[in-house]
Amino acid sequence: MTTYTVINPATEKPVEDVHEATVEETDAYVERAHAAFPAWRAVPPGERAALLRRFAAVVDAHVEELAEIEVRNAGHTWGNATWEAGNVRDCLNYYSAAPERLFGRQIPVAGGIDVTFHEPLGVVAVIVPWNFPMPILGWGMAPALAAGNCVVVKPAELTPLTAIRIGELAREAGLPDGVLTIIPGKGSVVGERFVTHALVRKVAFTGSTEVGKRIMRGCADQVKRCTLELGGKSANVVFADADLRAAAGAAPYAVFDNAGQDCCARSRILVERSAYDEFLGLLQEAVQGMRVLDPADRASEMGPLISAQQRDVVQGYVDEVEVAFTGPAPDGPGYWVPPTVVLAESTEQRIWREEVFGPVVAVLPFDDEADAIAMANDTEYGLSGSIFTGDVGKALRVARGIEAGNLSVNSNSAVRYWTPFGGYKQSGLGRELGPDAPNAFTEEKNVFIAH
Ligand code: NAP
Ligand code: MG
């Protein structure tokens, strides 16, 4: 039995040993899920809804415990970790309404009636990254279960602990054996096997663009369904007519939240030239006022990076540019990088083009609305973005002009489970969350009945 040790990124101390599954074990879990599918899909809608609500209630009773695990395992702040555990509960509650509302249509035809059905796929795999272990698990698992699928989950190697606990809570809530299975292990072993195993009918993947492309290529062999939530290099566009103090106060949290390890991080700030100097002064105040502390301290607003490797990658980006100013960071153990602001010199720089996935933001001025849209769109990514302006017409024009799936005006609002979420261009494929998510875990069947 192979195990590895999960590390607390704020202290570098071991947290727990976790068993990593082999290919054979993965196969056995997938087969067990497949065996559980006929009974699970046959559970009447009202009963499946009740089970999901009970699962949500059990998660709710363990929010504090789950948050505590995430603070230790992922270095998340208490505020974030508590929100994340609550998000799993909310997502389960929201999609618990779906089994009774998985509507088909009745379509007018000659000589009979035509009806459609949304039927579950079978075994669905969810591959979760380390940056938001709980929410991303919930976003895949909840609508997939609601639609009548059995779900196998591979958490990230670095952050498996909350997923393992949520799997136990599902059993406690009464989900039948094999309906939800958490399988910790390597991406190259468990994750790859999800792609190649013929009984897995869909892979919902969140992570790097590189691995996402590999998964999409692999899924092609079996025409396996896949959705991809990948990287981002999102723009925070600040016009001179915005409430600059509010925009500058919000900007650090739009990129440094979760130490910048967020696919939605607004890691490019575009500021209208006439407001550039004033905005930077306000931004400096806000960044230097951030509380970057060991997340075990409930006052912490930003924790460490997830691993030494991730810290080194991020530091590599910082080392090749001139830093304008930084916020604080603790000395001593932990994978710390302070909140860092870089005044970019050109749109060709790596810091402007590549997803850093750390607490580093690059700033550039723009001249006018058309320039702002063109600069925002000058990227292979298209996940999120923010627009700060006092002019509602301009806000709408720019929001419609930016090629990204999730935009916020005068805010950096977090992802909401009841609105659709996903990327344009290389930020992803398909959508998660929102009212339509269960349909993405079904096939639509059309049946014609002659009179
Ligand atoms: P990653 O390698 O894409 O990992 C994401 C998940 O995929 C993990 O569970 C991983 O397992 C698994 N995986 C890895 N290789 C796989 C394969 N060949 N087949 C199937 N599954 C596989 O991401 P990462 O290396 O952790 O992070 C690298 C970069 O990805 C980050 O710096 C960031 O730029 C980006 N990223 C984006 C998001 C996002 O939300 N869009 C999230 C995380 C990372 P292991 O844990 O075993 O590797
Ligand atoms: Mg990787």
- Closest ligand to residue 130's CA: 1
What is the Å distance from ligand 2's center to 164 Cα?
A: 20
Nearest atom in ligand 1 to the alpha carbon of residue 310 is: 32
Indicate if the pLDDT at residue 414 is higher than 80: no
184 in contact with ligand 1, CB cutoff 6 A? no
- Distance from C-alpha of 76 to C-alpha of 131, rounded to nearest angstrom: 9
The residue behind tokens 């959508």 is 431
Query: Alpha carbon of 169 to those of 30, 40, 61: distances in Å?
Result: 20, 18, 10
What is the Å distance from ligand 1's center to 258 Cα?
A: 16
- Tens digit of each residue's pLDDT (9 = 90 or more) over 312-371: 999 999 999 999 999 999 999 999 999 999 999 999 999 999 999 999 999 999 999 999
206 in contact with ligand 1, CB cutoff 6 A? yes
Nearest C-alpha to atom 26 of ligand 1 is from which residue? 129
Looking at the DSSP bridge assignments, the partners of residue 200 are 123
What is the Å distance from ligand 1's center to 129 Cα?
A: 5
Looking at the DSSP bridge assignments, the partners of residue 428 are 229
Query: Alpha carbon of 85 to those of 66, 108, 244, 292, 404: distances in Å?
Result: 6, 45, 33, 22, 27
Pocket test for ligand 1, best of 161, 202, 211 (most atoms within 8 A of CB): 211
Q: For 204-262, what is the HEC assignment? A: EEECCHHHHHHHHHHHHCCCCEEEEECCCCCEEEECCCCCHHHHHHHHHHHHHHHHHCC
Residue type, 404: A
- Mean pLDDT throughout 432-446? 98
Confidence grade of residue 298 (pLDDT, cut at 50, 70, 90): very high
Q: Are 377 and 347 in contact (CB under 8 A)?
A: no
The residue behind tokens 């979420």 is 421
- Closest ligand to residue 212's CA: 1
- Tens digit of each residue's pLDDT (9 = 90 or more) over 100-121: 999 999 999 999 999 999 999 9
Report the catalytic residues: 229, 263
Indicate if the pLDDT at residue 407 is higher than 90: yes
186 in contact with ligand 1, CB cutoff 6 A? yes
Nearest atom in ligand 1 to the alpha carbon of residue 128 is: 9
- Tens digit of each residue's pLDDT (9 = 90 or more) over 267-282: 999 999 999 999 999 9
Structure tokens at 66: 């789950």
- Distance from C-alpha of 21 to C-alpha of 183, rounded to nearest angstrom: 7
Instruction: Return the beta strands (E) in 283-358 as ranges.
Output: 323-326, 340-343
Instruction: Tell me which H or E stretch contains 180.
Output: strand 180-182
- Tens digit of each residue's pLDDT (9 = 90 or more) over 212-243: 999 999 999 999 999 999 999 999 999 999 99
Nearest atom in ligand 1 to the alpha carbon of residue 186 is: 47
- Distance from C-alpha of 141 to C-alpha of 152, rounded to nearest angstrom: 9
CA dihedral 347, 349, 352, 358 (to 10 degrees): -170
What is the Å distance from ligand 1's center to 40 Cα?
A: 30
CATH numbers and ranges of domains, the chain? 3-230+427-450 (3.40.605.10), 235-416 (3.40.309.10)
Whole-number mean pLDDT of the chain?
Answer: 98
pLDDT on residue 1: 75
360 in contact with ligand 1, CB cutoff 6 A? no
- Distance from C-alpha of 336 to C-alpha of 9, rounded to nearest angstrom: 9
Structure tokens at 293: 């502390």
- Tens digit of each residue's pLDDT (9 = 90 or more) over 29-49: 999 999 999 999 999 999 999
Secondary structure (DSSP) of 50-92: HHHHHHHHHHHHTHHHHHHHHHHHH---HHHHHHHHHHHHHHH
Looking at the DSSP bridge assignments, the partners of residue 124 are 151, 202
Residue 408, helix vs strand vs coil: strand
CA dihedral 438, 440, 442, 448 (to 10 degrees): 110
Nearest one of 165, 136, 158 to 69, comparing CA atoms: 165
Nearest C-alpha to atom 38 of ligand 1 is from which residue? 207
- Distance from C-alpha of 250 to C-alpha of 427, rounded to nearest angstrom: 23
Query: Alpha carbon of 262 to those of 159, 274, 290, 394, 434: distances in Å?
Result: 15, 30, 18, 27, 20
Nearest C-alpha to atom 6 of ligand 1 is from which residue? 129
Nearest C-alpha to atom 35 of ligand 1 is from which residue? 208
Q: Are 418 and 139 in contact (CB under 8 A)?
A: no
Structure tokens at 357: 């996935």
Nearest one of 115, 132, 76 to 296, comparing CA atoms: 76
Nearest C-alpha to atom 42 of ligand 1 is from which residue? 207
Q: Are 160 and 18 in contact (CB under 8 A)?
A: yes
Q: 27 burial class (0-12, 13-18, 19+ CB within 10 angstroms)?
A: middle
**Beta strand pairing call for 112-120 and 106-107:** antiparallel
- Distance from C-alpha of 5 to C-alpha of 19, rounded to nearest angstrom: 9
- Tens digit of each residue's pLDDT (9 = 90 or more) over 170-220: 999 999 999 999 999 999 999 999 999 999 999 999 999 999 999 999 999
342: left (phi over 0), alpha (psi -120 to 50) or beta: beta
229 in contact with ligand 1, CB cutoff 6 A? yes
